[in-house]
Structures are given as C-alpha cells and as structure tokens.
Structure 1
Amino acid sequence: MKQLSYLFLLLAGFWLAACDDSSDASLIPEIIPTEQGSDTYVMKGYEPTGNGFNVYKPKAIGAPFYIKSQSFTGRNYAFAPVSGESLEGLTSVPSANAFSEKVEVKPATCYWVRFNRYNHYQMGKLRVAYIKGNEVGIEYVASDDVDVDNTNPVNSNKADNLEIPALNATNQYIEYYAGMSDEEGAEQVLNFSLEYIASKKHSAWVAFSFDPVTSQDNIKRTNEWNQDDPNIDNSVEVTESMHKSDGYDKGHICASEDRVYSVSANKQTFYYSNISPQIGSFNQKYWAALEKQVQTWGRSTINGTYDKLYVVKGGTTNRLLTNFTGVKKANDGLYPTTNAAGLTPGGLICPSYYYMALLSEKAGVYHAIAFLVPHSELLPEKPDKDEFMAYAVSIENLEYETGIDFFCNLPNEVEKKVEAVYSEEDWAW
C-alpha cells in the first residue's frame, strides 16, 4: 500500500476516538534522533479509547501499525524487542522466533520491525522515546529487506498474479484449479484463490480474474452444495449444518455466475470456504446487481473492451455485524440475527460490510476502483450507476478499512497511481 490517505478504523471501540494518521510525519522536537534519516512521530492510543487514537505508516511500507492494549501490533507486522538505546546501534536482525505479532510498549526500548510480504520481509527499526499519558513518542527508520524462503507448498507460484493480495502468513493460502472446458483432458487453469482464516472459519478474501476463457458463459449453475473441501482440515471447515435455520442466505464470495466457463469451475464456487452468511435482501438484490455489473465488465474481455479484469471480493472479517435483528425474513422463514460477538445462530461470523476491489487492464493501462457496501436490509433493490457509486472508494481507502494490501504485485509506481484515486469514467457502464 502506498501513501494511504484515510484512517483505518481497526476496532469498533475506536469509532469514538479522535483519530489521525502519520502520512505527514515530521521530526518532533522532543525526540532526539539516534540515526540519520529517521522519522519521529507521536502515536496515540496507549491509554483506553476516548483519549485519541492514530496509526503510524512507515513510508517504505505504507501499511499501518498501531497501539492496542499497550502493545504494538498491525496486520502482517511482527516486532522483536532488543537491548540498546539508539537505532544506529541495531545492526543485526534477530532470529525469526524472536518476533511476535504483538509486543509490549516500553519506554526507552528499541525494536526490530518486520512487515511480511510474500517473497521478502520489509524491515525497520523502532525506538520508544517516551510515554506520556496516552501519547508514545517514537523514532523509526527503514532497514534492508530480508528475503523469504518460499519453500512452503501452500504458497505456489501463482501468488504473484496481479489479482492476489499480499499474503498473510498466519492464514492458509489456497488455489483452486479447474478445466478450461468440460472435455476430457482439458487444460487446467487457476479458477480462483483465497486466504482462509481458520480461527474464524471464513475467507479473508477470494481473488480471481476474467479473461476471454474464464469469462465465457457456457454452463448453468450446478448447486453443488455440501462438498468437502479437500484443501481445508475438517476441524476448521464450515459445514452445511452451520448454515441451517439461521435466517441468512449462503452467499457466494466468488459468485456462481462468475465461474460458468466449465462445470468443474462452477462446482468449486460452492465450497463453504467461498461462502458467507448474507442477509437475503442484500444477497439477492443490491449485491447481486453489483456482481452482475462486474460480470458485464469481465465478459467484455471477449470483445476487447478490456484485456483482463482482476477481482478481489470478501467480507470485513475485522468488522462484524453485532447485536443485529433483521426485519425481513429469509428463505427459511427466519429473521437474521447476530449476537454481541457478531456470530449467527450457527456460530459463523457475519461481516458488517462486503467489498470488491477491481483492476482493469487494457493495452498495458490499468484502472482500479473498489466498493465497500454495508451489509444491510436497507439498500436499493434495483440500484443504478449512481447508487453503485455511492459506495465506491479508492483501493487505498479499502486497504485501510480491511487491512489487506490489494494489487501488490503491480509495479510500485503503477500501484501507487491506480490505488490513490478512482473515476467512474474509467469504466464501461
């Protein structure tokens, strides 16, 4: 993520906090730098919420870390406290087992900071200069990257496809392959990929692309429910019983209609790793209409409007729909509900938003747009372009809201440009 411009509200408890970010961090007079080229910044959030909260985004990384429960933490970050009083004195990176996803904020303490990319770690050095009430004065400087040994077969060589977000090592990365057609011996292609959060029994995201092959509309919906996903351990796999009598639709992330170029491709969309509990009116009306618009763009790769369309879809696993009681019955005759933890009657997490991140490619030119849509019964049932655009956001904004680094495999300058802004004029409505 490059030069993000919106605050990532990481926890529901922070909604009432006075917030800002570190996009324009400059030297703080109270903090004396201990290494040339370092930044200084005052982080907020050391004390309970209500006294102010912000995040710090190292310039070289562009993704935020923050203070939670008096500890440093952040998606894809790890920290290792070390002895020493200056950043300049930190010359040797600790072993991998010295790093933790959360470490206590201590005064007069230095830390190595590691940000996990797919094929390398971006490193930095961090020093706590002081703690004053809710404020923590820090000094930070980037360090040399460290290569990652990618011998883990979970992350295959397709992880550098443009549609694949930056991988989170704590989740399970899975690729699903299907035949280009239903002919015997048909070439296998990447149907979609996803990152599975075992502890939440929900995908973080599902990614796929439309091209002249995968955008073809050749078969009808298979309705192949109740399959066992061979990629996910049964102990953390969602089952049909968890969706029964819960007041929700079994909502596809990668839609069934997104993958109708072959029977095997469509069947895979019915794996429960690709399913999320969705309010019926949301799934069947607004969200379905937005999916249809994206499918129209995707299938225009056949006539050359686009060369390729890259898609990432998902629900906000970091922001759940809590204490919800719907007023519209689902197909099972029940009202949708969630408890204080954001769980359905079947114990599944229920996102409070669903999103799409889109990247079009035509003759080497890229355009991007994102949609962040509230999981609600109150959305228009027959939305038009303006009602879609009401929930359009930049990729940067979506990255803040989800903590996911989209389209990270683009060249840096291209990524920076397409993620910062969006325009409805870039899309063939």
Structure 2
Amino acid sequence: MTKKTTYLILMVICTVGFWLFNNFYTPDTYTDASVVKDNKQVKLENYLQPSSTTGVVVKHNYFTLSYNEKYEQAEWVAYLLNKQHLTYEDRKRPYFIEDPKVKTKSADWRNYKRSGYDRGHLCPAGDRRFALQAYNETFYTSNITPQKNDFNAGVWNRLEKKVRQWVKRDKELYVVTGGVLKGHMDEIGDEDVAVPNYFYKIVAKGKGDNLNVIAFLFPHKESKKELSSFVVSVDKIEKETGIDFFEALPKQTQDKLEAKVNVTNWAL
C-alpha cells in the first residue's frame, strides 16, 4: 500500500468519524444535583407554577416546564430571574440534547437542521450564565421552539433585554413563556415539531397577593412596534392557551390580577 493510499484511507476514516461524532454523539444529561448552588434562588413557589394541559411537568434545577408531546415542545417554561443571575460569564455553547426528564423524549435537535428556523430558547441562555450547569440546562430541547430568525433576534430579543433591565431595578422577577400551541401550524423535521403562530411571555414581581404582572402576546414575525403594543391581559393568554397561570392564588386575587391590561410600574 502506497503512502498516498494510506493517507487517503486515514482522511476518509477521519471524515467519517467526525461526521458520526457531529451527527450522532450527544451527552446524556447536563443535570447533576450534587453541584447545584443557591438552589433556593431558582425554586418556584407553588402559586407561581401554571397549570399543565398535559400533566407532564418537569422540574429542572434552574427552570420548570410543561411538555406537550403532540407538538414536541414545552407549552410553558417558568423560572425566577434574580439580579445576581445577570453575569457576563463567557460560556461555551454546549450541544442541544434531548431532555432526560421527559419520558417520551423531547424533540431531537436534528429536526431543526436546514428547517429555516432558529432553535429559539424559551428560558434564555443569557439569563443563566451564572453557573455552568444552569447555562447548559437551557440547551435541553424541551426548552427550544422553532422561531424565525428575524423574530428571535428582533422583537423577541428586545423583550428579553427589557426583562433584564427590569430585574436590575426590581431585584427578582418571575417569568413564564412559550408558544401558543393551537390551530394550524407549520411543522419541521421527522418528528413534526410545531411552529407556533404566536408567542407569549408573562412577567411578575412582588409576592403572593401583591403581585404586579405584565403580559405580552406576539405574532410570530418581526416587528418594529413598541413593546407596549403587544401588552395584553393574562386572561387573554389563558384563553388562547388553555393554561391557568396563577391557579394556586385565591380566585378573587386571580380575577383582579389577570383581567386588566397592566403597564403600571413597568418602564416601557
């Protein structure tokens, strides 16, 4: 065998090996309870956990979600954002991997390849830079939804930045977000991952009966409009999604909190 032939064989082996590694290798999990720090800062109070239309509630160390297998994504992801969480650690982006806590398996990341859609985070990776595990957990595909790039990098990103501005002032916020999973939706990949036509985000500050809440509902397209143009009542989002977002609060408190369109004390 000539040196040239040996070289070509080694090149083929390396190329095939790299392709197999890139397309078929992923780690099993990013979750290790033994290394969790400051867990009290990210644990949701019961009254902040929304209802689940599927009964599949998954609690990770740094966010909680309700998974909808039919649409291969979370119907909501909820988390606390503390001012101390806003760090500027330069984290290396990990693999997108299936969520080991979703028994039916969350969508494979390959559904998104060449789909024309971003792998849009629901709990933003930028909100979880304060710890390596917290950051990596946001790359479970249960926390991912198909988003148009101009929407993801545009008006949706503007709102995520606004939430970070608010938490610098208000110290701690509760955030719950997701796509509206109903009606006719486009699908991507072999697992028919649904592409929501609308996305919502609800942000709350305060405690218990003294919550102050603002809610947003966006068509899935880029917009240059002010964020205030997309403010709606929580009742509106509940009607669209079938989710009860503050179900553990007394009904009278819920009715008062959820019925109005609120921009008071929110700097928009």
- Using the size of structure 1 for normalisation, the TM-score is 0.49
Residue 32 of structure 1 is matched in structure 2 by none
1:343 aligns with 2:187: yes
Deviation at 1:297, TM superposition (A): 1.4
Measure the CA separation in 2 of the matches of 1:368 and 1:309.
10
Residue 56 of structure 2 is matched in structure 1 by 172
Letter in 2 for 1:419: E
In 2 relative to 1, CA 421–230 (structure 1 residues): closer, same or farther, beyond 3 Å? Answer: same
In 2 relative to 1, CA 294–162 (structure 1 residues): closer, same or farther, beyond 3 Å? Answer: farther
- Describe the SS at the equivalent of 2:164: helix
- Describe the SS at the equivalent of 2:258: helix
Measure the CA separation in 2 of the matches of 1:319 and 1:219.
40
Q: Please give the residue correspondences for 1:122-271 in structure 2 after superposition, counting only pairs within 5 Å.
A: 161-168=46-53, 170-177=54-61, 191-213=62-84, 215-233=85-103, 236-271=105-140
- Describe the SS at the equivalent of 1:196: strand
Letter in 2 for 1:171: G
Deviation at 1:426, TM superposition (A): 2.1
Letter in 2 for 1:311: V
Deviation at 1:251, TM superposition (A): 0.4
1:314 aligns with 2:153: no
Asked if 1 retains the 8 angstrom alpha-carbon contact of 2:110 and 2:189, the reply is no
For residues 283-320 of structure 1, give each alpha carbon's deviation from its aligned partner in whole angstroms, at most 9, with x where no partner exists: 00110001110122123344xxxxx3111100011144
Measure the CA separation in 2 of the matches of 1:353 and 1:228.
24
- Describe the SS at the equivalent of 1:349: strand
Measure the CA separation in 1 of the matches of 2:44 and 2:265.
27
Measure the CA separation in 2 of the matches of 1:159 and 1:212.
16
Structure 2 unaligned regions, length at least 5: 1-42
For residues 334-376 of structure 1, give each alpha carbon's deviation from its aligned partner in whole angstroms, at most 9, with x where no partner exists: xxxxxxxx21255310000000012111696321111000001
Asked if 1 retains the 8 angstrom alpha-carbon contact of 2:208 and 2:249, the reply is no
Asked if 2 retains the 8 angstrom alpha-carbon contact of 1:209 and 1:311, the reply is yes
Measure the CA separation in 1 of the matches of 2:93 and 2:129.
12
For residues 99-151 of structure 1, give each alpha carbon's deviation from its aligned partner in whole angstroms, at most 9, with x where no partner exists: xxxxxxxxxxxxxxxxxxxxxxxxxxxxxxxxxxxxxxxxxxxxxxxxxxxxx
Deviation at 1:411, TM superposition (A): 3.2
1:372 aligns with 2:217: yes
For residues 254-301 of structure 1, give each alpha carbon's deviation from its aligned partner in whole angstroms, at most 9, with x where no partner exists: 111122221110110111000001000000011000111012212334
- Describe the SS at the equivalent of 1:251: strand
Structure 1 unaligned regions, length at least 5: 1-157, 178-190, 303-307, 322-341
- Describe the SS at the equivalent of 2:116: coil
Question: Which protein shows a greater Rg?
Answer: 1
Residue 358 of structure 1 is matched in structure 2 by 203
Measure the CA separation in 2 of the matches of 1:228 and 1:400.
30
Residue 83 of structure 1 is matched in structure 2 by none
Asked if 1 retains the 8 angstrom alpha-carbon contact of 2:98 and 2:109, the reply is no
- Describe the SS at the equivalent of 1:343: strand
Measure the CA separation in 1 of the matches of 2:136 and 2:176.
19
Q: Please give the residue correspondences for 1:384-423 in structure 2 after superposition, counting only pairs within 5 Å.
A: 387-423=226-262
Measure the CA separation in 1 of the matches of 2:246 and 2:109.
33
Which of the two has greater helix per residue?
Answer: 2
In 2 relative to 1, CA 219–364 (structure 1 residues): closer, same or farther, beyond 3 Å? Answer: farther
Aligned residues: 225
- Describe the SS at the equivalent of 2:67: strand
Measure the CA separation in 2 of the matches of 1:356 and 1:285.
15
Measure the CA separation in 2 of the matches of 1:415 and 1:364.
9
- Describe the SS at the equivalent of 1:390: helix
- Describe the SS at the equivalent of 2:174: strand
Residue 21 of structure 1 is matched in structure 2 by none
Asked if 1 retains the 8 angstrom alpha-carbon contact of 2:57 and 2:67, the reply is yes
- Describe the SS at the equivalent of 1:424: coil
Measure the CA separation in 1 of the matches of 2:208 and 2:176.
21
Asked if 1 retains the 8 angstrom alpha-carbon contact of 2:50 and 2:244, the reply is yes
Q: Please give the residue correspondences for 1:51-66 in structure 2 after superposition, counting only pairs within 5 Å.
A: none
